[in-house]
Structure 1
Amino acid sequence: MRQSIESSLVRAGHFCAAYDDGVAMSRSLVRSTMDLLVLDWQDMRPAGADLLHSVRRVAGEHVPIMFVSNDGSEESMVRALAGGADDYLALPLRDAEFRARVAALLRRAYPERFSAATCFEIGPYCFDTIRRAVTLRGEPVPLSPTQYRIAALFFSNVDRVMSRDHIFATVWGRELREFTRTIDSHVSRLRVLLAIEPHNGFRLQPVYRSGYRLLRLHDHVLRE
């Protein structure tokens, strides 16, 4: 089952990481960024509701969770959904339906990425998704294509940890297989170019052994 799920997601253009149990996955979630989790209701350890609660504690409420299982009973499906799962799919896997459900979960969780709008505004920043350009308080900020992609990733995932491997896969389109300072150099330059500072309402925070998080500061923080 795992291979068919992984193959289906890869064909749909997603990067995947597979884990043998919930413990290994939870450890990875501490330092890595996952946009969506596909779990087995029965065969992973811990299983069922215990697995769901364990993963939610680490991943948070924002990340969508789908269960795929041989157990197609109404009782298990209701327990999963009532416990906080976002979807539940009984086997056998129907490839087109599975990918459609994944796409729907991603659209709901990350609307900025899938919006048909040609621009999105956040604080004093405006991102033109057609021209791939950014303005700060109405003034254009000159960014390279790579810098724009990194900036758009951060500003469409405010308050989420973006791990280095996730940044690399999203921006460069391939897996990060060895340590590199490329991402850190780009982020450092981006912080200066976009003036990501408290007076503009944001702070770009390094996260130890993981990556970065763009924090949106509240009014009381800005006044201090």
Structure 2
Amino acid sequence: MDVLIVEDDDAMASALDAAVVSAGHMASRVARGADALLEHRRFEVILLDLGLPDMDGLDVLRKLRQVTTVPILILTARDDERSVVLGLRSGADDYLVKPVKLVELLARIEAVTRRAGRSKDIRQRNIVLGELQVDVERRVAAIGPQVLPLTATEFDLLALLASHAGSVVTREQILDALWGDAFLASSRSLDVHLTGLRAKLKMPGFIINIRGVGYRVEADSA
């Protein structure tokens, strides 16, 4: 696996590089956001710092999400709620606060790459629930003629729930299917992506919260 490390701190970059290589992967490092935007195409995972010298990491993330769906993990010292929510809603697959344990980092990398691999294996078909159409092969969701501006994770979440319309999907099933590990993945990440999905769907009552269990899509309300 080829990993791109976007980190301006030399010591941190060296530690990340050593950890990635020790796990049998290949790593390359850039220190600026502009370089990440130029070099991202040949990598399978991106580790992105937010405090870059030339541009804010969230801007880099948004630009990357316009051109690639590869897993992106944010590694940053910003631990405030607003930064976490902004990072996840902007398309990050995971958000880790420095200092991060390298063992946990490697586990998170494996988890998001499993999720990315599983999303490619989703049965390729169209899901139609009333006016909502989910084209799994083209990864496009629309309500009538209006295409929804979903992030990669929001689309995967919608496809999963819609494919089980009428049945309850537990939080653990969602975390396992989308992040690759129901216990490693962050429940907060799921909450943020679910909130973003609901806001873009603008379909009250479509995704029902089954308290303490999970969620159910109500096909009749579509």
Q: Sort the TM-score into its range (normalised by shorter chain).
A: 0.3 to 0.5
Q: TM-score, normalised by structure 2?
A: 0.46
Higher alpha-carbon Rg:
1
Q: TM-score, normalised by structure 1?
A: 0.46
